[in-house]
Amino acid sequence: MKHIFSILLWLGMATWAYSQEKRTISGYIKDASNGESLIGVSVYVREIGNGTVTNDYGYYALNLPTGVSYTLVFNYIGYEKVEKKVTLTDDLKLSIELKDESVKLQEVIVKTTKEDENVKNIEMSVNKVEMKTIRQMPALLGEVDLVRSIQLLPGVTSVGEGASGFNVRGGNIDQNLVLLDEAPVFNASHLFGFFSVFNPDAVKDVKLVKGGIPAQYGGRISSILDVRLKEGNAKKREINGGIGTIFSRLSYEQPFAKSKGSFIVAGRRSYIDVLAKPFLNGDLKNSRFYFYDLTAKANYRIDDKNTVFASGYFGRDVFGADFGFEWGNRTATVRWNHVFNNKLFMNATAFYSDYDYGLESDRNNKNKSGDKFKWNSSITTWSMKPDFTYYLTPNNTVTFGGQYINYSTKPGTATAISSGEERNISLDPRYADESALYIGNDQKVTDWLSFQYGIRYSYFRNLGPGTAYEFLEVVKGDRKLPVSEKKYESGVINTYGNWEPRFSTKIELNPSTSIKASYNRTAQYLHLLSNTAASSPLDVWTLSSKIIKPQLADQVALGWFQNFQENMYEASLEVYYKKLQNQIDYVANSDLLLNSYLEGDLLFGNGRAYGAEVYVKKNRGKLTGWLSYTLARTERKIEGINNDNWFPARFDKTHNLSTVVLYQLNDRLSFSANFAFNTGTPATFPTNRFEWGGWTLPQNVDNSRNAARIPSYHRLDLGATLKSKKKLFGKGQGEWVLSIYNVYNRRNPFSMYVRQNEDNNLKTEAVRYAVIGSVVPAITYNFKF
C-alpha cells in the first residue's frame, strides 16, 4: 500500500516540481433558472487546449501559470455555452450560471465546440440520462420512472417486466450500489418492483457507472447508480405537482436566507385506496393498500468556502387487511462542502439508511388467547465519509478519502401465538463494520493521453455479539448440516480485507475520436439473499461471515468513442469481460427466512460475463434520443448445480436492443417512443414426468439448469406531452402527458413453466406467464407554478 501511495504522489509531484508560479481559478457552476449546481460541466481553457469538469457539487478548480490571458469556455449539454476572458494575476473566483438552451429551441443551433464529454472525458462505461429526457419518455401507467429508464441503456437487463431492480453487465441486483445523495437505498422499489422509489420531481441527476469505477466508490461489485437530488430552487418559489394513474405528486421549492440557501420537499402517494374505499365491505373494509414517499433536501451556503446540505427520504408500501404487510426505506444524509484553499476541496458526508419490513396476521384479533403471527426484519447502517479533491496541477487531480460503515441487521424478529401460547422465533441480530481508504489520480499526460488510477483498500469485520456456525457437506449441492456453533459475546468474530485497484486510460486519436480502456476490482460484503426469479421485499440483506465470503469482481473494458457532425451525434462501442468470485446460489428447497442455519442452504461458485455494447445518441435538434444494443453472455458455475458446469444466469439476454426517440414538434407539443427487444430469458424445463400420490410431477433427467429459453420480448411504447396554452391561474404552467405502454398489445412472457392440468392430474401442460399482458394507456396531468 505504502508503495502505491508514494508512486501516486511522486507522479503528481514530478509534474508539479517543474511548473512555474501558478494561481487557481475556481468556482461553482449553476443553472441560471433555479440555482441548481451543475455536475460534469466542461471547463475548457482555449489557450492551453485543456480543461476540467465540475465535480458532483458543481465545483471546479484550474491551476494555471500567472500573467497570461485565458479564454474559459463553459459547456454543458442542453445549456448555452459561456465564454469568459480572464487575465490571471492572483487566485480567482469565477462562478458561472448557465442558461437552459431549450428556451430558444426553435433556432437550430450548430455548435462549433471542440470539446465533448463522450470523447474527451476519461470516464467510460458510464451512462447519464438527463431527468428532462426521462420525463419525456413514455412510461408505464404514465409514472416517470428512473429505474425503468435505466433498463433501456446498454449493458442493463432485468429478469423481466415487473421485477424489482436491474442487472448490470452480468451482475445480480444486489451488486448495484444505489445511492440517493450518497446514502445506499436497500430496496429501490414500490409495489414489488413496478415503480422505483425515486420521485422524479426531486431528482436532479442520474449517473450509472458500469465499469472503470473510480477508487472513491466501493461496497458493491457491479455498478453504481448515483442519484442526486435537486437542491431546491435558489431563485424563486416553485411548486410542481401532478396527478397520474398511480401517484399524485406535489413538490415545493424555495430559497431562504436571501438565496444563500434553498430547499425542496417532494411527496407522492398512491390514491386508488381512497377512491376504492366506498366500494369495500365486509372483511375488505379494513383493507390498506397504498404506498408513498417523501423526499426532502436543503442546502445553505455559509460563505464562499462552506456549504452544507441535508437530505432525506422516507417511503413505505402498506398492504393487507386482517393480514398486514409493509416495507420501506429511510435515508438521511448530511454533507459539508469545504474549500480549504483554491486547490483542496472536501466533501464530508454522514449518512443513515435503513430498510425494514413487517408482516402481521390476525391484526383484527384482539383476543389474547387467540392466534397471531408477527414478523419484522431490518437492516440499519450509518456511515462517515470524507472525500477530498486536490487540484494539484492542471494535469493532475488527486482524490483521496475514506469511509466507515456500520451495519446492524435483524434478519428476523418474530413471534407466533398458537391458541394463546406465545413463542419467540427470532434470529439473532448481526453486526459488522466496513472501513475503506482510497487514493486516486486523474492525470493528463499529454493532450491526447490521460490516465485515471487509484487504489482502494476495504476492510470488513463481523462484530459480536454473534454466533458463527460450521457446516458439514453430506451430498454436494444439498443442504449442509450444522455441526458446531461458537458464540461470541463481543469483539471481532471474523475479518476480510481486499485491495481494489482501479485503472482507466483515454487515448484521443483526433478531436472526435478516442479509445478508452479500464480495469477495476471491486469487493462486496453485503448480500441480498433471494432464491426467487424476481426479488421480493421479504429478501434479507445478509452480511459476509466465515461461510459467506466477500463477492469479488474483476472487470476489463475497452471502448471506441466517436462523435459525428459537430457533436450532434455521439457513439460508443465497448467490450467488457468480467470475472466474479464467491457468487451465491441456493440448494433445492432452500429456506432463507427465519432460518438460523441459513448458511447451510447456500451454494457458492463463480460467475463470468462478457459482451459488446453499442450506443448511439443524438444530442440536439428537434429529434433526439438514442439507440442501444448489447450482445452479452452471463454465466454462473456453482458446485452442485447443472452438474458443476457453467449455466446462463436467470437474467442472461443474448441480444438486448432499445431505442428511445423524442420529437419536439413545437413549443407546446412533443412526442416520444421507446422500443425494446430482448432475447428470452433462460428457463429450466422437465424432460420427464412421474406419478406419485396421484400427482404428475416434473423431472429433468439431465439435471440441467437454464438450458432452454422462453420466447423473445419486444415492446413499443408511445407518449405525447401537450403544454397548456393558457397560463395556469395567470402564472403557472400545465401539461397533459399521454402514454401508451405495450402499444401492440403483446403478451410478453415473464416466464414459462409446466404444471398438471387443474382438472386432470394426468394431463401436463406448459404455461406462458405474462406480467403485463395487454396494452396499458394512461394519462397524467402535471402543473408547475
Partner 1 sequence: MKKNTLHTFLTYTTLAFLTVSTLTSCEDVVDLDVKSGAPQLVVDGWVTNQQTSQTIRLTESAGYFDNSQAKPVLNATVTVTDDKGGVFSFVDLKKDGNYVWKPVAVSDTIGRVGRTYTLRIKMGTEEYTAVSKLNRVPKIDSVTYFFDKLPIAPADDAPQEGYTAEFFARDPTGAGDCYWIKSYKNGKYFNKTTEITIAYDAAFSPGANSDGLRFILPIRRAISPEFYKEKDTVKVELYSIPLEGYYFLNQVRTESSNQGLFATAPSNIYSNVKNTNPTGRKALGFFGAAAVSTFTEVIDAKKAKPKDGN
Coil, helix or strand at residue 150: helix
- Smallest distance, Å, CB 147 to partner 1? 16
- Given the complex with partner 1, which of 398 and 710 has the nearer CB atom? 710
Cβ burial, residue 665 (10 Å; 0-12/13-18/19+): exposed
- Given the complex with partner 1, which of 51 and 244 has the nearer CB atom? 244
- Smallest distance, Å, CB 130 to partner 1? 28
Give residue 232's identity as a one-letter amino acid code.
Answer: G
CA–CA dist 508, 115 (Å, integer): 12
Q: What are phi and psi of 146, to 5 degrees?
A: -65, -45
- Given the complex with partner 1, which of 416 and 722 has the nearer CB atom? 416
- Smallest distance, Å, CB 139 to partner 1? 13
Close Cβ partners of 238 (under 8 Å, ≥ 6 residues apart): 34, 252, 253, 254, 784, 785
- Given the complex with partner 1, which of 12 and 165 has the nearer CB atom? 165
The grid coordinates of residue 278 equal 366506498
- Given the complex with partner 1, which of 581 and 696 has the nearer CB atom? 696
- Smallest distance, Å, CB 361 to partner 1? 7
- Smallest distance, Å, CB 113 to partner 1? 45
Q: Which H/E stretch holds residue 16?
A: helix 2-17
Cβ burial, residue 31 (10 Å; 0-12/13-18/19+): buried
Q: Do residues 42 and 115 touch, judged by C-beta distance below 8 A?
A: yes
Alpha-carbon distances, residue 508 vs 163, 485, 514 (angstroms): 40, 58, 4
- Smallest distance, Å, CB 524 to partner 1? 22
- Given the complex with partner 1, which of 608 and 768 has the nearer CB atom? 768
CA–CA dist 557, 611 (Å, integer): 10
- Given the complex with partner 1, which of 460 and 647 has the nearer CB atom? 647
Q: Do residues 519 and 555 touch, judged by C-beta distance below 8 A?
A: yes
- Smallest distance, Å, CB 432 to partner 1? 22
Q: Are strands 22-31 and 92-93 parallel, antiparallel or unpaired?
A: parallel
Coil, helix or strand at residue 242: strand
Q: Which residue has the cell 442526486?
A: 228
Q: Do residues 181 and 297 touch, judged by C-beta distance below 8 A?
A: yes
- Given the complex with partner 1, which of 487 and 727 has the nearer CB atom? 487
Q: Do residues 739 and 778 touch, judged by C-beta distance below 8 A?
A: yes
- Smallest distance, Å, CB 289 to partner 1? 4
Close Cβ partners of 39 (under 8 Å, ≥ 6 residues apart): 54, 55, 56, 57, 58, 204, 205, 207, 228
- Given the complex with partner 1, which of 245 and 513 has the nearer CB atom? 245
Q: Do residues 490 and 465 touch, judged by C-beta distance below 8 A?
A: yes
- Smallest distance, Å, CB 319 to partner 1? 5
Q: How crowded is the C-beta side of 433, counted as CA atoms within 13 Å? A: 13
- Smallest distance, Å, CB 638 to partner 1? 11
- Given the complex with partner 1, which of 154 and 160 has the nearer CB atom? 160
Q: Do residues 245 and 214 touch, judged by C-beta distance below 8 A?
A: no
- Given the complex with partner 1, which of 112 and 424 has the nearer CB atom? 424
- Smallest distance, Å, CB 378 to partner 1? 17
